[in-house]
Amino acid sequence: MKLPDIKILDEKNKILRTKSNEVTFPLTKETRKTIEDAITYLTMSQIKKYYEKYNLRPGMGLSFIQLGIPKNIFVIVEEVDEEKFENYIIINPKMISHSEELIYVGEGEGCLSVNREVIGIVPRYARMTISYQDMDGNKKEIRVREDISVAFQHEMDHLNGILFIDKIDKNNPFKDKEKMREI
C-alpha cells in the first residue's frame, strides 16, 4: 500500500470554519481520486505497520474540508475485524432522525485536524438516520449507531464548519455527563 499525498489542515486554518458546498454529479476524476486517497490514508492510519512506518495518527473519518476542499463529502473507514475494514462514502448528507439518548466517547473524541490533547465530553446522539448520495449520485439512507453514529456526527459537523472542541463546555468540560451514556 502506498501512502497518498494528502495534507490534512490543522485546526488553526480558517477554512475548517467554513460551510461546505453541495456536490453535483457526475463526480470529477479528481474528486473520485481524493475519495480513494482518503480511504487509503485512513486505512493505513489504522494498521500498525503503516502508522508506525509513516508516523500517522490513527483516524477513522475525514471530511473534504479537512483537505481544504469545501465539498459536502466525508469518508469513514471502520475496522470491523483485524485489518478488515468497512468504508462509508457519504456525499451531501442530511440528518433525517436521531435518538433522544445521548452518548459520549469515554476516552474523548479526537480529530486529525486537532493535534493536541483535549479534555471533555462531546454529547452525541446514540442513533441516527441520514440520507445521502453515493459516488454515482444515487439517493440512499443509512441508520447508524454507537461509535459509527459518533463518527458520522463528527464529520457532518466538519461540513458545517464545526469542530468537536466547539461542543465541549469550556467552563465545565464534563457537563451533564450523568445524563449520557459512555461508549
Question: Known catalytic residues?
Answer: 155
- Per-residue cell: 21: 458546498
Residue 132 burial (CB < 10 Å; 0-12/13-18/19+)?
buried
C-beta neighbour count of 150 within 10 angstroms: 24
Give, for 141, the enclosing helix (H) or strand (E): strand 139-145
Task: Classify 43 as helix, strand or coil.
Answer: helix
- Other C-beta atoms lying within 10 Å of the C-beta of residue 182: 10
Count CA within 13 A, CB hemisphere, residue 122.
22
CA 159 to CA 144: how far, in whole Å?
18
